[in-house]
Chain A
Amino acid sequence: MAELTYRDALRKALADAMTENPDIVILGEEVGRYGGAYGVTKDLIKEFGPERVIDTPISEPSIVGAAVGAAMTGLRPVAELMYVDFLGMTMDQLANQAAKIRYMFGGQIGVPMVLRTQGGTGRSAGAQHSQSLEAYVMHTPGLRLAMPATVADAYHLLRQALERPDPVVFIEHKALYTMKEDVDLGARPPAWGKAAVRRQGKDLVIVTYSRQLHYVMDAAKALSAKGIEATVIDLRTLNPLDFDTIREHVERIGRAMVVSEGAMTAGVAAELAARISEECFDFLEEPVIRVAGEDIPISVSPALESGSVPGPQLIAEMAGRLLA
């Protein structure tokens, strides 16, 4: 066991994978000499050299596009997008190129690249640096999507992403980088694409991912004090989506809530709620509830910012009402 931060775990995953696989290269803005805007790639350039840790100009479309070309010609690139908010800049290369190349070309070749980025609120970073855009990715066939909530998953999901044959978008949460956990990285991780049941309870199922897992766990503790016991499912990856685990628990318990930081309308929570409603209809005692981000841009004001996304209090309150 060792105490690590989420940031340390990500860095260790990159370093360990790069040591094992000489084809892994990192490219992005400030990933080398600066060490990454959030410090994830700190000193990797010293360890692996500038041929493998490549500082780029501020050119997001071509960073992702170069990763596509590198992946098609034998490398395993990790492109870093400093903020997920810049996804729109790169969407042609990600959604029209990386996601479709295997299919359009009849299975001749895949694009084994990882696009590392970070999103979410929590640093008073304003409307263009605080979004949760995972729905854009989840809505695009051909992309895998991982969103680690824990230190152990930051390590294991990134190592697993670097073994996948298809493009993986890997979205970290900016509010989690300094979170610490005692982790045993030698312990066998859950398989890629499997959700983790973080808490077992008989009264309702809460399905979530990324930073909201921690708010849900706080809410579950508060609910428990009132005699309500929640089962908490951390999806870990949104594509593949482990719906079997969701179904198993929802069918047993009959009440479900979905919690996501992304904007409510047409978001990840909407998709999950629709699927649960459709596939588990006969087992539900109440409508599936979405607790998600407001349909508004994120403000710099910390009060408005934290009010724009779910928190433990809202989650606990709505769970309590669902059971009332």
Chain B
Amino acid sequence: MSKPKGASAPGTKTNSDLPELYRTMRRVRSFEERVGELFVRGQTAGSMLHLSIGEESAAAGITAAMKPQDTFTTHHRGHGIFLARGADPKRMMAEIGGKEAGYCHGKGGSMHIADMGLGHLGANAIVGGGIPAVVGAGLSARRKRNNAVSVAFFGDGATGQGVLYESMNMAALWGLPVLFACINNQYGMGTRIDQATANTALHERAIAFGLNGESVDGLDVEEVAEAARRLVDAARAGKPGFLAVSCYRFYGHARKDKSPYRDAAEEEAGRQRDPVAFARARLIERGLVKAAELDALDSEIAREMDATIDFTIAQNEPPLASMFRDVFDPSEPEPEPVRTRLNRVLATEQENG
């Protein structure tokens, strides 16, 4: 995979690597478009698929601030974050499709994907469910002295959950290396943020708990990356943080949701706030990359992601016997299947007449 040449030009307001951030966001967009397509064609498993189109700057900007030893959890809309962290799109899409070759051998799917190699402690289908795990990861980092930060990614919907505040309180109290990353896409399912809370300046609540707190505009991935770097660095030094990235969920809550609860004009305006298009325009404007080079990059990414669809369709479903595997550690007996147990019981009945 090639990437456009050139770093941020001298004199620009950030020192982030915009070409790399663009490439990451483009890959996320491209992956999400294709996984959505696969879903529409009925070729993914699962009845639920939550796309992060419009939110790519949060995934790219925050993961860019993380180090290899860092860990993270995500919410149910987490494909982009995991891909930005370095996931193999083939194994990801295979997992979303419920295939044996997926990261979790088809048992997890879109909302329960994880990879210990990349420090992904798991996506979560319970709103806010993955947040307290980063407090524990922070305790581990402190005890093991391994200089790791743990990042909880969640949506604005999770700001309604009590565990967020419990966990922020613990992280601040104990000075843990933790970042709470709130991707505020304005909607918790069909409820707009201002219909769910009176104070939408979400970072203020973190400050009240004693954390560093910032809100940034997710239109500009460089701003996200800068803020994330500041907050992750401070967390690594023992001052946990909270970052709210404001963006717009381009499509419905799940793939089949046509968003009847919001009007067309709002959607139209929201989709104008496109972090991928914004970064592309800035790259050209700064003379960092030519439009033709970006077109070539986009095409290359499109081909890579097209190949993930072909790969996923070609993969096998997990074998039925794997159903009883991994309930407990492999050294322990697997649960006895109902059929086996009943065969045993009824055979005894017949023998004894």
A residues engaging B (CB < 8 A)?
23, 25, 27, 51-52, 54, 56-57, 59, 61-62, 64-75, 77, 92-93, 96-97, 100-110, 141-142, 144, 165-166, 240, 278-279, 281-282
Chain B residues whose C-beta falls within 8 Å of the C-beta of A110 in the assembled complex = 329
Question: Measured between alpha carbons, how far is A73 from B348 in the docked complex, in Å?
Answer: 47
Question: Measured between alpha carbons, how far is A98 from B116 in the docked complex, in Å?
Answer: 16
Chain B residues whose C-beta falls within 8 Å of the C-beta of A106 in the assembled complex = 102-108, 326
B37 within 8 A of A: no
Question: Measured between alpha carbons, how far is A27 from B166 in the docked complex, in Å?
Answer: 14
Contact A102 B326 (CB under 8 A): yes
Name which of A25, A73, A110, A240 has the most chain B CB atoms within 10 A of its CB: A73
Contact B136 A70 (CB under 8 A): yes
B77 within 8 A of A: no
B288 within 8 A of A: no
Chain B residues whose C-beta falls within 8 Å of the C-beta of A141 in the assembled complex = 327, 335
5 contacts between A and B (CB under 8 A): A59-B166, A59-B169, A65-B167, A69-B150, A142-B328
Contact B135 A62 (CB under 8 A): yes
Interface positions, chain B 96-135, Cβ under 8 Å from A, are: 102-108, 112, 114-116, 121-122, 124, 126, 129-135
Count of chain B residues near A, Cβ 8 A: 56
Chain B residues whose C-beta falls within 8 Å of the C-beta of A62 in the assembled complex = 131-132, 135, 163, 166-167, 170
Which residue of the partner chain A has the closest CB to B95?
A106
What number of residue pairs across chains A and B have CB atoms under 8 A from each other? 164
Which residue of the partner chain B has the closest CB to A105?
B114
B11 within 8 A of A: no
Question: Measured between alpha carbons, how far is A165 from B329 in the docked complex, in Å?
Answer: 6
Contact B104 A97 (CB under 8 A): no
Known: A66-B136, A101-B122, A165-B328. 9 other contacts (CB 8 A): A54-B174, A74-B144, A75-B140, A97-B130, A102-B326, A108-B104, A141-B327, A142-B328, A282-B352
Chain B residues whose C-beta falls within 8 Å of the C-beta of A144 in the assembled complex = 328
Contact A102 B327 (CB under 8 A): yes
Chain A residues whose C-beta falls within 8 Å of the C-beta of B114 in the assembled complex = 101, 104-105, 108-109
Name which of A104, A106, A165 has the most chain B CB atoms within 10 A of its CB: A106
Chain A residues whose C-beta falls within 8 Å of the C-beta of B141 in the assembled complex = 73
Interface string of B311-353 (1 = CB under 8 A from A): 0000000000000011111111001000000000100110010
B260 within 8 A of A: no
Contact B143 A25 (CB under 8 A): yes
Q: A62-B170, A93-B129, A102-B327 are in contact. Are A75 and B143 (CB under 8 A)?
A: yes
Contact B112 A104 (CB under 8 A): yes
Contact B328 A97 (CB under 8 A): no
Question: Measured between alpha carbons, how far is A72 from B205 in the docked complex, in Å?
Answer: 28
Chain A residues whose C-beta falls within 8 Å of the C-beta of B150 in the assembled complex = 69, 73
Minimum C-beta distance from A159 to chain B (A): 18
B71 within 8 A of A: yes
Which residue of the partner chain A has the closest CB to B100?
A106
Which residue of the partner chain A has the closest CB to B176?
A66
Contact A72 B137 (CB under 8 A): yes
Which residue of the partner chain B has the closest CB to A89?
B162
Chain A residues whose C-beta falls within 8 Å of the C-beta of B167 in the assembled complex = 59, 62, 65-66
Contact A65 B329 (CB under 8 A): no
